[in-house]
Amino acid sequence: MSKNTTQTNTTLYYDPVFLQNGNLNRLSNLGIKKYFLKKNILNQLYQRGSMSNPELCKVTNMSSPSISKLLTELMNDKLVREEGIGHSIGGRKPNLYGLIPDARFNIGIKIGQESSDVAVFNIRNEIIGKVRTLSRKMESSDAFVDDIYHFASSVINNTGIDSSKILGIGIGLPGLVDPVKGKNYSYLNHSRYSTRELFERRFKKPVFINNDARVMALGEYAFGLAKGKKNVLCLTVSAGIGMGMILNGNLYYGNSGFAGEFGHIRVVEDGLLCHCGKRGCLETVASGLTLERMAREQVALGKVTNLLSLVDGDIEKITAGLVIKSALSGDQFCIDLLSVIGENLGKGLSILIHLFNPETIIIGGEMAKADQYIIDPVKQALNKYTMAHIRNDTVILVSKLLEKAAVLGASALVMENIFMDVKNTAFPV
């Protein structure tokens, strides 16, 4: 190997983007080993924040001299920096090391039925600028993919970041998503290319996709109420119902990557037809679309409510958001509707509590904006349908991130995949 080639590899082999581009085979066995040792350090600093040499030794199983040498190289590569002095455990106080925030970036995108959110994050999970929203109905077409790409590109350009430092794009979508194959079997399946390939062809960057509920769970785990917890069920209750599961500190995918289709468990014998083709799914009795349908049907029958004044008498304009808004302003009709939704949701959750015994259940999505008007009936249902000893071990919370959890989780999805090969793995020197 020539000197120039060696220098080129020395500046690249630590870089997750380099690995994603498939160039790891350029390295010697020693180079590959060093690549993974460096990447392991980067992963620990990403997961845990600033750390000292002794702390890194403990979590990586590497020796102190090896850690010192690799940290020096990572600082020369402008990925890591010194960040002050840590606490002494005997002797001289150690230096702390952390990731340089603008060393790398990633893009989080949450695609929804009516609108999509985009945000830029640095490698320390800090948002650059604000979450931006594109009001555009989702459709399975190249034009829609192009619109998402152009909007995201404008958001990236407005931040002024160096686009060559972007590690990848994380995308959360509704529907039945296979994150390994990069396919969405419900939406954006109009092309001979997979959903992931459709976006990779536009962005020219690695793209990682997942169901929006699982992405929401990642967002809660990285930024929200699930942070630091081991066993959490994260529900997104909007037009439909989805769930992401953090089990033993890791996002659970299931055998085929489809775990968490909570909205499609059968709860009503010979119930209403669900869009999935089955009858009696939880979504048919506890989702945002169900709330809209119930409100429209009962208002048409003459129920007293201030909803009609909000839609100028046009019943078809009643939405779940308006029902929640009216409930929060004291409309008893809307409060009663939410109580029915919460009761049905609680019945479904009782099954999950008995199966998983989670420490926390976080409810997010549009319906979570109803706060106590959805949570109180959920808790009442759990009192009826769950064993007290198990129920008392579970805390029910409303997400503080709400609908922003998914776009935040889409950023975490990039890092989850970038560090997948070194996560929970020890690399001996």
- For residue range 360-397, what is the model confidence (pLDDT) as tens digits? 999 998 899 999 999 999 999 999 999 998 889 999 99
Q: What is the pLDDT of residue 429?
A: 41
Please state the domain count of the chain: 3
On whether both 390 and 328 belong to a single domain, the answer is: yes
Report whether pLDDT(13) > 50: no
Domain end (from 81, 99, 117): 99
Predicted confidence band of residue 89 (pLDDT cuts 50, 70, 90)? low
Q: How far apart are CA 382 and CA 409, in angstroms?
A: 28
The tokens describing 242, both together, are 């989805």
On whether both 193 and 281 belong to a single domain, the answer is: no
On whether residue 425 sits in a domain, the answer given is no
Give, as one character, the DSSP assignment of residue 164: G
Calculate mean pLDDT across residues 167-193: 91
Kindly report the CA angle at 299 between 295 and 305, in degrees rounded to 5? 90
Q: Which residues contact 230 (CB under 8 A, 6 or more apart)?
A: 246, 247, 248, 249, 359
On whether both 256 and 358 belong to a single domain, the answer is: yes
The tokens describing 12, both together, are 């690249």
Q: How far apart are CA 202 and CA 150, in angstroms?
A: 9
Could you report the per-residue pLDDT of 230-242, keeping only the tens digit for each? 999 999 998 889 8
Domain end (from 61, 79, 99): 99
On whether residue 414 sits in a domain, the answer given is yes
Report whether pLDDT(58) > 60: yes
Question: Can you give the CATH number for the domain in which 321 is found?
Answer: 3.30.420.40
The percent of residues in the chain predicted with pLDDT above 70, rounded, is: 91
Report whether pLDDT(14) > 60: no
On whether both 83 and 110 belong to a single domain, the answer is: no
Q: Structural domain of residue 203, as residue ranges?
A: 104-217+408-418
Question: Can you give the CATH number for the domain in which 51 is found?
Answer: 1.10.10.10
On whether both 93 and 44 belong to a single domain, the answer is: yes
Q: What is the pLDDT of residue 2?
A: 34
Could you report the per-residue pLDDT of 282-329, keeping only the tens digit for each? 999 999 999 999 999 999 999 989 898 899 889 999 999 999 999 999
Report whether pLDDT(428) > 70: no
- Share the mean pLDDT of the chain: 87
The percent of residues in the chain predicted with pLDDT above 90, rounded, is: 61
Q: Residue 266 pairs with which residues in a beta bridge?
A: 281
Please report, to the nearest 10 degrees, the dihedral formed by the alpha carbons of residues 221, 224, 228, 234 taken in order.
Answer: -50
On whether residue 424 sits in a domain, the answer given is no
Q: What is the pLDDT of residue 198?
A: 96
pTM for this one? 0.82
- Give exposure, 76-107, as e/b (b: 16+ Cβ within 10 Å): ebebbbebeebeeeeeeebebbbbbeebbbbb
Predicted confidence band of residue 88 (pLDDT cuts 50, 70, 90)? low
On whether residue 427 sits in a domain, the answer given is no
Predicted confidence band of residue 5 (pLDDT cuts 50, 70, 90)? very low
On whether both 236 and 290 belong to a single domain, the answer is: yes
On whether residue 165 sits in a domain, the answer given is yes
Task: Assess contact for 375 and 361: CB atoms under 8 A.
Answer: no
On whether both 278 and 371 belong to a single domain, the answer is: yes
Domain end (from 33, 68, 99): 99
On whether both 264 and 361 belong to a single domain, the answer is: yes
On whether both 93 and 125 belong to a single domain, the answer is: no
On whether both 91 and 179 belong to a single domain, the answer is: no
Q: How far apart are CA 249 and CA 40, in angstroms?
A: 18
On whether both 271 and 309 belong to a single domain, the answer is: yes
Calculate mean pLDDT across residues 160-164: 92
Task: Assess contact for 360 and 397: CB atoms under 8 A.
Answer: yes
On whether both 90 and 116 belong to a single domain, the answer is: no
Could you report the per-residue pLDDT of 102-152, keeping only the tens digit for each? 999 999 999 988 899 999 999 998 999 999 999 999 999 999 999 999 999
